[in-house]
Amino acid sequence: MAHLCRKGMGKKMLTAIVGINWGDEGKGRMVDLLSEGYGIICRYQGGNNAGHTVINDKGKFILNLLPSGILRDDTVNVMGAGMVIDLAHLCGEINTLEKQGVEITPERLKISDKAFVCLPYHIKQDILEEERLGDKKYGSTRRGIAPVYGDKYMKKGIRVGDLLDFDTLKSKLDDIVSWKNLTLKTELNDIMRWLNEYGTKIMPYIDDTTEYLQSAQKNGKGILFEAQLGALRDIDYGIYPYTTSSQTLAAYAPIGAGIPGAKLDKIIGVMKAYSSCVGEGPFTVEMFGNEADALREAGGEYGAATGRARRVGGFDVVASRYGVETQGADFLALTKLDVLSYMEKIPVCTAYEVDGVKTDRFPSGSKLMNAKPITEYLDGFKADVSKCRKMGDLPAAAVKYIEYIEKAVGCPIKYVSVGAGRDDYLIKD
C-alpha cells in the first residue's frame, strides 16, 4: 500500500475521492486509507449533513465537517470555499476530536474565508419547510443546508471571512434579518451572540485558502479532494429534487476547494457492493421487510449524521454506471464486500423497465419514478471474507461478483474493502 501512496506523492497528484452512489459508500474510510502521502486534504462542498465514519489505530471517529485527513498527524486540512459551515457544530466537532486525542491547530486546519456560514435561522427554515411538506418531504437532514445554499445564490449569505470584521458583519446581518423576518421571526442580537460565541473560536483557522492551495500546488504538494455524498445526490446531475444542495461531482472539486483553475490528475470513485439510500425519492432497487432488515443489519446501515435507518437494496448497475460516468472515475474502490457474505444468492439489478421498455440508461424525472428493476442473481460466497488481503484469498464466487460488477459499470476496480478498519482491504491486480 505504502508504495502506491508514495507514488501518488511523487507525482504531486491532484486526486479526488468521490461517491458513485447515493452517499455513505465509505468515502471517509477510503480517504483515511489513501491520504497517506498527500500533504493536504480538502473538503470541497456540503456541510454537516455529511457523516463519514473512520476506524483506525487511533479509534472510531465520526466526521461531519472536518476533512477525514485530520486523523493523520502530518496533514494540513482545508475546508474549501464550496462548503457551508455551522460554526457551533464545528466547535463541537473540534472539541470531540480533541478529547479523542486529535490535535487541531491553525497549522493543521484552514477554513476558507469564502465558505458560507450556516446560521441558526437556516436550521429553523429547514425544519419548517420539511414539516410543511409532510408526506412530500425531500428527506432533509434538517441541518439548514438547502436554506444556506439558497441564500448564497440569492446573494444574502454570510461568509466565513465576514467574521473577521464584526462591525460590518453586524450591519450586513441587520439587513438580512429584516429580509428573513418577512417569513420568519429572528433577532439580530441573538444571532450576534451566537456568532460571538462560536465565530471567535474558529477565527484562528480562517485563511485565504485559495492562496494557500495555489502555493502548495506551485511547491509540488499533492492534494486530495474529499467529496460528501454521491453522484446521485448532485444538485444538477442527481435525482432532483431529492438531491443535496451542492455539487458532489469530482468536476467541481477544484472550484469548491478554491483553486478553480486546477486540473485533476486522478478521480477515485467509491462504490458500495450493494445499495443504500438515506432520505426520500425513487430508489429502484429498494428491498422491503425481512430481506431489507437482514441487509441493513449486516451492513450497519444507520446514518452517521442522523442515526436514521438507511433504505437498502441490491447492487444497481444502471445507477452505478451513471455515477461512474458523471464522476469521470479513473478507477474504483468497491466497499463493504464482506457484508454480502450471508447471502445465498446476490441480487444485481442489471437494467430497468420503464413504461414497458427495457433500458440500461439511468432515467430522470417521472421515468425514474416508474422504473422497475430487472434483477439477476449471482452465486453467494457464503464465507467470511473480512480477513482476505489479496484476491487469491477470496472465494471464487466473490471474485466472480467483483469482476461482474467491474465489467458492468465499465471502470476498473482497484481496491476492495472488506471491513471498516484502515487495513481491511485488498488490491485487485
Respond yes or no on whether the N-terminal peptide bond of residue 282 is cis (omega within 30° of 0): no
User: Which stretch in 18-26, 74-82, 172-180, 330-338 sits in contact with Mg ion by CB under 5 A?
Assistant: 18-26
Q: How many residues bind ligand GDP (CB under 6 A)?
A: 22
Q: Would you count residue 234 as binding ligand GDP (CB under 6 A)?
A: no
Q: Would you count residue 338 as binding Mg ion (CB under 5 A)?
A: no
Nearest approach in angstroms of CB 395 to Mg ion is 29
User: Which stretch in 7-15, 19-27, 209-217, 319-327 sits in contact with ligand GDP by CB under 6 A?
Assistant: 19-27
Which neighbouring-strand residues pair with 83?
A: 46
Cβ neighbours for 313, distance < 8 A, ≥ 6 positions apart: 274, 275, 276, 277, 283, 284, 285, 286, 287, 292, 295, 347, 349
For ligand GDP, the closer CB: 372 or 422: 422
For Mg ion, the closer CB: 125 or 141: 141
Among 24, 86, 113, 406, binds Mg ion (CB under 5 A): 24
25 binds, among ligand GDP, Mg ion, none (CB under 5 to 8 A by kind): ligand GDP
State how far Cα 235 lies from the chain centre: 13
Residue 242 has phi, psi (to 5 degrees) of -85, 40
Nearest approach in angstroms of CB 163 to Mg ion is 28
Cα separation of 78 and 70, whole Å?
9
List the alpha helices (DSSP H) in 37-119: 87-99
Q: Which of residues 298-327 bind ligand GDP (CB under 6 A)?
A: 300, 304
Q: Would you count residue 32 as binding Mg ion (CB under 5 A)?
A: no
Cα separation of 272 and 320, whole Å?
9
3-state secondary structure of 280: coil
Q: Amino acid identity, residue 422?
A: R
Site string for ligand GDP, 41-70 (x = CB under 6 A): ----------xxx-x---------------
Nearest approach in angstroms of CB 315 to ligand GDP is 14
3-state secondary structure of 385: coil
Site string for ligand GDP, 381-420 (x = CB under 6 A): ------------------------------------xxxx
Site string for ligand GDP, 174-213 (x = CB under 6 A): ----------------------------------------
Among 8, 26, 258, 313, binds ligand GDP (CB under 6 A): 26
For cell 482497484, the residue is 414
Which neighbouring-strand residues pair with 89?
A: none
Q: Would you count residue 51 as binding Mg ion (CB under 5 A)?
A: yes
State how far Cα 246 lies from the chain centre: 11
Contact, 59 vs 241, CB < 8 A? no
CA distances from 194 to 86, 117, 179 (A): 11, 12, 19
Catalytic residues: 24, 52
For Mg ion, the closer CB: 24 or 338: 24
Contact, 254 vs 338, CB < 8 A? no
3-state secondary structure of 167: helix
Q: Would you count residue 25 as binding Mg ion (CB under 5 A)?
A: no
Give the interface with ligand GDP as residue ranges (CB under 6 A).
19, 23-29, 51-53, 55, 300, 304, 335-336, 338-339, 417-420
Give the interface with Mg ion as residue ranges (CB under 5 A).
24, 51
